[in-house]
Structure 1
Amino acid sequence: MSDSELFPVPPGFAAHAHIDEAAYAALYRRSLDDPEGFWREQAAFLDWIKPFSEVRDTRFDPLEPRIRWFADGTLNASVNCVDRHLPAKAAQPAIHWQGDDPGESRTVTWGELGDQVNRLGNVLRGLGVEKGDVVTIFLPVIPEIMVAMLACVRIGAVHSVVFSGFSAEALANRIDDAGAKVLITADQAHRGGRVVPIKHHADAALLSQPSVNAVVVVRRSGADVPFTPARDYWYDEALAAAEAWCPPVEVGAEDTLFILYTSGSTGKPKGLVHTTGGYLVHAGTSWRNIFDWHEGDVFWSTADVGWVTVT
């Protein structure tokens, strides 16, 4: 672990970068010297419904801590992630997905992504999900997992993504802690060359979780899995029957965007809460200045099973 190897940046790549080393150092220095001005500029890249007036309100008192960013501003994460790219990019790829099996791949355009996000948002609304409710997502690494997250934030719901390789008990613990109202899962998952029966795990978890009143099931493999009438819904059928437009819900910058649980290897899993405004501003700043994304670039992300790209 002590070995290191330096890979120099190709000159052509460096010349195309948004900022060079000196500019990056200056930008970082400004973030320390004038954090208010720096983060106000970074936040301007987002589409706000109601612009914020105050950048931050922080007090690092161990007895009465307070950390609030852009608190009086409102926005919607799905608008910033999807709608702002439409209709100009409707026919362009938004996601390239490469599955675990040889030759298994899919491409989702921006138009298709927007359509699915809107339809699933309406499906969740029809299942009684309201602003602030929690939806647990127990899916393998497939495009539908991104659709599910974006559909939740479109209607102001909070999403909690649970690793699809977890046991029924681990899933139940996270559903219970968050008080999830709906579960989105799949019939099966492919992991490391084997099939994981995640619908069976989901059913076992829900035996002790009465808060979940509906389950949306993605057909990942097409396998015959247990199906509970009046509780379980096939993802594809539900989307086909849903309205194509779902009005985005206005949420506060300090409203919860998602909950991400720790592994639980050292005790009870702890849910880390990320709020909407601060998370989006930081992610956007990193996307531009750290990942150095340019229009037309393809960003590859390798996961446990499957590769997902964002363009």
Structure 2
Amino acid sequence: MPEVRPEELKMIKESKLYFPPPDKVKQSVMGSVDAFNALLRRSWEDPAAFWADVAGELYWMQPWEKTMEDRMPGFRFFVGGVTNPCYNLIDRHLDQGADNRMALIWEGEDYQTKFFTYRMLHTEVCRFANVIKSFGLAKGDRVAIFLPNLAETVIAVLACYRLGVLFNTVFSGFSERALHDRLVNYEPQLIITADGGYRRGREMPLKSKVDEAVGDLSSIKGVVVVKRTGSEVSMQAGRDHWWHELMAGVPLDCPPEPMEANEPGLVFYTSGTTGKPKGIVHSSVAFVVNNYVYGKFHMDHHSNDMFWCTADIGWLTMHIWGIAGALANGVTTIFYEGALDWPKPDRFYQMIDKYRVNKLFTAPTAIRMLMRFGEELMKPYDLSCLDVLSLVGEPFNPEAWHWAYNNLGKRRIYINNTWGQTETSGCPLAGAAWITPMKPGSCGIQFLGAQMDIVDEDNNPVPPETPGNLIIRRPIPMMVRTLWKEPERYVREYFSQVPGAYYANDAAIKDKDGHFWVTGRIDDVFNVAGHRLSTMEMESAIIECPGVAEAAVIGVPDEIKGLVPVAFVTLRQGYTGDPAMEEAIKQKVVDNISKIAIPARIYFTDVMPKTPSGKIMRRLLKEIVVTGEIKGDITGLEDMAAVEKVREVVAAQRR
């Protein structure tokens, strides 16, 4: 059973609701609390009728035969229905006369900008779709996208949607090793990258990483390179091509490929509990349908919205909110390339003021970063345009909630803290902006069409204000459909724990008002500043470092990032835990994963607390670091002396 600190449970029990003012309720997309509550009840009681109505608001080439088959796993939605996701994200708005409405604004870290109306974006997407076709790719083939947040990145994603080509975007900060592992498993036929990108004023090499990661991967037919920095890069004849050269002279029209609603479209890799990245497979059409309605109510989207999602394209958050949710609702979406605090910490506020951002989606980490810089930083900027602030990625502590509400929003904004996973794509726990009451720190209510529950170790539902394991009893269209090349692992990891339900591997509490509080991961995967990392993946990297015998990684609270990794390392004889060894370990983590995975602290210890079978009890390590005491169950501990020795190591390094 997940453990919850007494003070945390007390805070949940005493939490209060913040009700939206009546005038804002009337201006919302639903227009009334009663109307939304009726829709919410209908979505729970008659989900088939609800999802049929939602899908009916979009364009279909062929109607579906059955709205939903909800047995898990193996569920399907809009069975037999045929349409195209790109058509619903772009063409549908052109049909409604939105040719000159702004669709996409791109700003580079160096302040370069690009602007695309819906008509302009449609043209560029069709042209690049024809470029993809020129490599011989067709529906069902595979494209890997290794780009930062560029306008070309959005165009590439939409072109894949248009052709029914599967795509995978890889975080541009990943190392060659991490990129290689994903490419080898995914086996793309085409890779789209850039010569480089900018991050904190420095150029990030991208094409050179691709060259090293690809190796002798036989599936590759071509590499398309965006010229972003102008740096000289190696171009292999016959394989590598410049984006701008390929786009010259190609036809401006490309008919959208018909796709059945459940056909796969996205493959996203996320860290797994075994350390081996999992390829999460989502269906493209159902993904768009679900995020259309969730985006509409989570953000209270109106067609004149200026929406900014601060996530990187390498994380599914940007696809959920910045592409599918935004464009399906016909709003203007902003893509920003660089760091939110570069070249100065006020860049975040500059962006909001400059583009009059009224809808913002970010991570709690970003808010805690702004808190650290203080209120003086925002004073030169007019942030009165901000209307809705939504968040996802890790728990959003009440202190940060109140700071955002009082200082960033001047008590005029709606804060929508949500819960979702790469596997669920969008957020089945959330609020409806300007309709449902807010509650600082919670993840909101069970949302449209979802059926959530919290159960104990015997899979029995627990009463309110009782911690337990979060599950989903009824599927929603955008949920994970399988794992790439691992269907058995898909069933084992998500559907074997609770028969007929999806097991989230998250601990949660439901309060007396029906609000959910997700308190942390049950397994050994945790979020660092919104980036999901596997302890096993980090431990594997550390153990590769010469001299390391054993490693254990835990996530500990951090006031800025939510959680940060802390490593315990046992060295081989003849090696010492000096600064050189610490630096070598950090560099190995960077080389194998990314800078985001660098341990905040490394403790060198001769022993680890273990079970009789040899399993390291990471829970005890976390208690030692966080509280200095062991309060949890130690009946499975083989040697109590190991705990005392580790405690001495931690105490000594804190002095």
Aligned residue in 1 for 2:267: 259
Rounded Cα–Cα distance in structure 1 between residues aligned with 2:184 and 2:33: 47
Amino acid at match of 2:306: V
Question: Is 1:298 aligned with 2:309?
Answer: no
Amino acid at match of 1:203: D
Rounded Cα–Cα distance in structure 1 between residues aligned with 2:53 and 2:66: 13
Q: Displacement of 1:12 after TM fit?
A: 4.0
Q: Displacement of 1:278 after TM fit?
A: 1.8
Question: What secondary structure is seen at the aligned counterpart in 1 of 2:268?
Answer: strand
Rounded Cα–Cα distance in structure 2 between residues aligned with 1:219 and 1:5: 52
Q: Displacement of 1:105 after TM fit?
A: 2.2
Q: Displacement of 1:110 after TM fit?
A: 1.3
Question: What secondary structure is seen at the aligned counterpart in 1 of 2:131?
Answer: helix
Aligned residue in 2 for 1:40: 52
* Contact 2:127–2:252 (CA under 8 A) maintained in structure 1: yes
* Contact 1:18–1:289 (CA under 8 A) maintained in structure 2: yes
Aligned residue in 2 for 1:129: 137
Rounded Cα–Cα distance in structure 1 between residues aligned with 2:224 and 2:237: 12
TM alignment of 1:268-283, pairs within 5 A: 268-283=276-291
Is the alpha carbon distance of 1:219 and 1:110 closer, same or farther for their aligned partners in structure 2, counting shifts above 3 Å?
same
Rounded Cα–Cα distance in structure 2 between residues aligned with 1:5 and 1:166: 41
Aligned residue in 2 for 1:174: 182
Of 217, 225, 228, the match for 2:233: 225
* Contact 2:259–2:285 (CA under 8 A) maintained in structure 1: no
- Of the two, which has the highest radius of gyration? 2
Aligned residue in 2 for 1:50: 62
Is the alpha carbon distance of 1:169 and 1:5 closer, same or farther for their aligned partners in structure 2, counting shifts above 3 Å?
farther
Question: Is 1:105 aligned with 2:113?
Answer: yes
Amino acid at match of 1:15: K
Rounded Cα–Cα distance in structure 1 between residues aligned with 2:216 and 2:276: 17
Q: Displacement of 1:106 after TM fit?
A: 2.0
Question: What secondary structure is seen at the aligned counterpart in 2 of 1:151?
Answer: helix
Amino acid at match of 2:107: Q
Of 64, 68, 77, the match for 1:69: 77
* Contact 2:146–2:172 (CA under 8 A) maintained in structure 1: yes
Rounded Cα–Cα distance in structure 1 between residues aligned with 2:83 and 2:134: 23
* TM-score scaled by length of structure 2: 0.44
Task: Provide, for residues 79-99 of structure 1, a one-character-per-residue CA deviation record: whole Å limited to 9, x for no partner.
Answer: 111111226222221111222
Aligned residue in 2 for 1:141: 149
Question: Is 1:23 aligned with 2:40?
Answer: no
Aligned residue in 2 for 1:287: 295
Matched residue count: 305
* Contact 2:105–2:116 (CA under 8 A) maintained in structure 1: yes
* Contact 1:191–1:304 (CA under 8 A) maintained in structure 2: no
Task: Provide, for residues 231-266 of structure 1, a one-character-per-residue CA deviation record: whole Å limited to 9, x for no partner.
Answer: 111111111131111111111111111111104685
Query: Which stretches in structure 1 are left out of the alignment for 5+ residues?
Result: none
Task: Provide, for residues 45-97 of structure 1, a one-character-per-residue CA deviation record: whole Å limited to 9, x for no partner.
Answer: 1111111020012323xxxx321111201111111111112262222211112
* Contact 2:99–2:119 (CA under 8 A) maintained in structure 1: yes
Rounded Cα–Cα distance in structure 2 between residues aligned with 1:265 and 1:217: 34
Question: What secondary structure is seen at the aligned counterpart in 1 of 2:193?
Answer: strand
Question: What secondary structure is seen at the aligned counterpart in 2 of 1:288?
Answer: helix
* Contact 1:53–1:73 (CA under 8 A) maintained in structure 2: yes
Amino acid at match of 1:27: L
Question: Is 1:94 aligned with 2:103?
Answer: yes
Tell which has more relative contact order, 1 or 2 (C-alpha 8 A, sep 6+): 1
Q: Displacement of 1:296 after TM fit?
A: 1.1
Query: Which stretches in structure 2 are left out of the alignment for 5+ residues?
Result: 1-6, 333-655
* Contact 1:252–1:276 (CA under 8 A) maintained in structure 2: no
Rounded Cα–Cα distance in structure 2 between residues aligned with 1:90 and 1:170: 40
* TM-score scaled by length of structure 1: 0.91
Aligned residue in 1 for 2:558: none
Of 11, 24, 29, the match for 1:13: 24
Aligned residue in 1 for 2:258: 250
Task: Provide, for residues 8-31 of structure 1, a one-character-per-residue CA deviation record: whole Å limited to 9, x for no partner.
Answer: 645543321012333322222111
Is the alpha carbon distance of 1:260 and 1:85 closer, same or farther for their aligned partners in structure 2, counting shifts above 3 Å?
same
* Contact 2:261–2:284 (CA under 8 A) maintained in structure 1: yes
Is the alpha carbon distance of 1:209 and 1:33 closer, same or farther for their aligned partners in structure 2, counting shifts above 3 Å?
same
Question: Is 1:241 aligned with 2:249?
Answer: yes
Rounded Cα–Cα distance in structure 2 between residues aligned with 1:136 and 1:264: 20
* Contact 2:126–2:252 (CA under 8 A) maintained in structure 1: yes
Rounded Cα–Cα distance in structure 2 between residues aligned with 1:230 and 1:282: 41
Is the alpha carbon distance of 1:14 and 1:174 closer, same or farther for their aligned partners in structure 2, counting shifts above 3 Å?
same
Task: Provide, for residues 124-154 of structure 1, a one-character-per-residue CA deviation record: whole Å limited to 9, x for no partner.
Answer: 0010111100100100001111110110111
* Contact 1:53–1:70 (CA under 8 A) maintained in structure 2: yes
Rounded Cα–Cα distance in structure 2 between residues aligned with 1:198 and 1:46: 37
Deviates more, 1:18-27 or 1:115-124: 18-27
Question: Is 1:184 aligned with 2:192?
Answer: yes
Is the alpha carbon distance of 1:70 and 1:304 closer, same or farther for their aligned partners in structure 2, counting shifts above 3 Å?
closer
Rounded Cα–Cα distance in structure 2 between residues aligned with 1:7 and 1:105: 38
Rounded Cα–Cα distance in structure 1 between residues aligned with 2:58 and 2:265: 15
Rounded Cα–Cα distance in structure 2 between residues aligned with 1:85 and 1:221: 33
Aligned residue in 1 for 2:493: none
